[in-house]
Amino acid sequence: MSTTGSQRLKGRVAIITGAGRGIGFAIGQQFAREGAHVVVAEIDTDVVYQAATDLTALGTEALAYPIDISDLPQMRKMIADVVAKFGRLDIVVNNAGISNKAAFLEMTEPQWDDMQRINQRAVFFTMQEAAKQMIAQIPEAERGNDRQPFSRGKIINLSSIAGRRGRADALHYSVAKSAVITMTQGAAMALARYNINVNALCPSVVPTRMWDHLDAAMAAQNGLERGVWYKARVERVPLKRPGTVEEIAAMATFLASSDADYITGQTYNVDGGSELN
């Protein structure tokens, strides 16, 4: 067992959706090092159990929870199961997502609907269900107070710099990620009186399976060698390199910690300078 870090999340119970790999798994690692119990809410049964095993090896209690987060009854059952097991819920990271390209004139209804169901609808209802639990955890004597004295929960949503402006070749993705930004703002305002903080992150280019799939699709579509499109995309990042999953996870960990208690409704670009808003 190796507990490292400053234990900023000691004893907190965190659900991270899509934590089987990529950015979500890296967030799980940093949360675990900071002392949180982590629920790996992941659709891919090839990775969900190993991810939880790897997080447990960091000295935390991690739970593998195979789930399609866009199936709302499953999502609600998961939150109930997590509370039954750990007794509470303190942090939710809405990280699970899909990404693909579709030209404006060729976009199909299933492409559009799948994207909105997973990348935005699931985020809204997971925030709603998590917030109900976080509010229920407020001690009886303090309920009804107009202002809660300290943070009662943290919600962190993964948006994207694609949510900052409409993209011609992936408007379904842009729209979903832009909705995540406005949902973050609206939820933050709705939950401010309970002192539940809601914030979002916009990565740009972070090499994960998602980028691997995009590169493969773009190579096939444009007759390119694998990696050529990705390299050109990285060149457009002002810092001239891709981000790392650890750099995204560091920001998520800060936002989950009490260091960020006075921050809510914000969306941070963690993107090498790609966007300036």
Annotated catalytic, 65? no
- Following DSSP, what letter does each residue of 105-162 receive, concatenated? GG--HHHHHHHHIIIIIHHHHHHHHHHHHHHHTS-GGGTT-SS-SS--EEEEEE--GG
* Residue in 173, 194, 230, 268 annotated catalytic: 173
In the complex, minimum distance from the CB of residue 83 to ligand NAD, in angstroms, rounded to a whole number:
19
Residues contacting residue 246 through CB under 8 Å, at least 6 positions apart: 26, 30
Alpha-carbon Rg of the chain, whole angstroms?
18
Q: How far apart are CA 28 and CA 180, in angstroms?
A: 21
In the complex, minimum distance from the CB of residue 53 to ligand NAD, in angstroms, rounded to a whole number:
15
In the complex, minimum distance from the CB of residue 181 to ligand NAD, in angstroms, rounded to a whole number:
12
In the complex with ligand NAD, the residue whose CB is nearer, 28 or 203, is 203
Residues of the shown chain interacting with ligand NAD in the complex, contacts defined by CB under 6 A: 17-18, 20-24, 42-44, 67-70, 95-99, 118, 158, 160, 203, 205-206, 208-211
In the complex, minimum distance from the CB of residue 189 to ligand NAD, in angstroms, rounded to a whole number:
23
In the complex with ligand NAD, the residue whose CB is nearer, 119 or 257, is 119
Residues contacting residue 101 through CB under 8 Å, at least 6 positions apart: 169, 170, 214, 217, 218, 221
Helix residue ranges per DSSP H, 137-244: 171-191, 209-222, 228-235
In the complex with ligand NAD, the residue whose CB is nearer, 17 or 30, is 17
In the complex with ligand NAD, the residue whose CB is nearer, 18 or 35, is 18
**Residues recognised as catalytic:** 173
